[in-house]
Chains A and B, each alone.
Chain A
Amino acid sequence: MTVRVQAAPFAYGAECEAFAAAAQGAGAVVTFCGLVRDNDGTLHGMEIEHYPGMTERALAKIEAEARSRWALSDALIVHRHGPLAPGEMIMMVATASRHRADAFAAAEFLMDYLKSRAPFWKKERTEEGTAWVAARDEDEDALRRW
């Protein structure tokens, strides 16, 4: 079980390979990666602010909650902060379990929770200037299904 918060890019392919190789006894690995959407070319860049200390703590709690709900043999969360360009990878999750249903459900759960329960804030830069991304009601609603 690993949580990493970093400014540096990560190698998605290598992370997935290493995660799968280490998933002893698992029959399924699910991976997901989030990218900076370019919003049809209007986004010039993004800055992600976070709360050092609480971020790691919140992600570890979310991961522990996922482990208590599904039979996971391993889980990984990597989330970046700092300046990001359109198309760059922001974050990834990986889950491993005996059967795929647990790994899929846990990966979706991790995504839903880290969108609105981990202290990250996105600021977008466009031609008009910079603006903080507003939280969406749908993201809050998504938590109710769990």
Chain B
Amino acid sequence: MKLTVLYFAWLRERIGLPRETVETDAVTVADLIAELSAREERYALAFADLKAVRVALDQDLSDFDAALDGVREIAFFPPMTGG
């Protein structure tokens, strides 16, 4: 399946791009993270500490165990600091 992957804040800086399209067979968010981390060092570094990473599936907050079936857009970012 084709996924639009978005990165924000220091994840965007560490990985070096704001968005990309990924062709993947990953079943869960965790699978996709493992796949990306195996791809290149910069991904492995960005995803090294998952306690500092949040994920949204189609613009709703989710978690690493969530299934990617039917998802079109996935975003990775640090804990939010609004207000």
| Interface membership of B75, Cβ < 8 A | yes
Residue among A57, A118, A119, A133 making CB contact with B8, cutoff 8 Å: A119
* SS class, residues of chain A in contact with chain B: mixed
| Interface membership of A111, Cβ < 8 A | yes
| Interface membership of A114, Cβ < 8 A | yes
| Residues B78 and A123 in contact, CB atoms below 8 Å apart | no
| Interface membership of A87, Cβ < 8 A | no
Q: Which of A31-74 contact B (CB under 8 A)?
A: 34, 48-49, 51, 53-54, 57-58
Q: How many residues of A contact B (CB 8 A)?
A: 27
| Residues B59 and A120 in contact, CB atoms below 8 Å apart | no
| Residues B80 and A57 in contact, CB atoms below 8 Å apart | no
Q: How many residues of B contact A (CB 8 A)?
A: 17
| Residues A135 and B83 in contact, CB atoms below 8 Å apart | no
Q: Which residues of A contact B82 (CB under 8 A)?
A: 48, 79, 91, 114-116, 118-120, 122
Q: Which residues of A contact B9 (CB under 8 A)?
A: 49, 121, 123, 132
Q: Which of A60-103 contact B (CB under 8 A)?
A: 79, 90-91
Q: Which residues of A contact B77 (CB under 8 A)?
A: 51, 119, 121
State in angstroms the CA–CA spacing of A54 and B61 once bound together.
Answer: 9
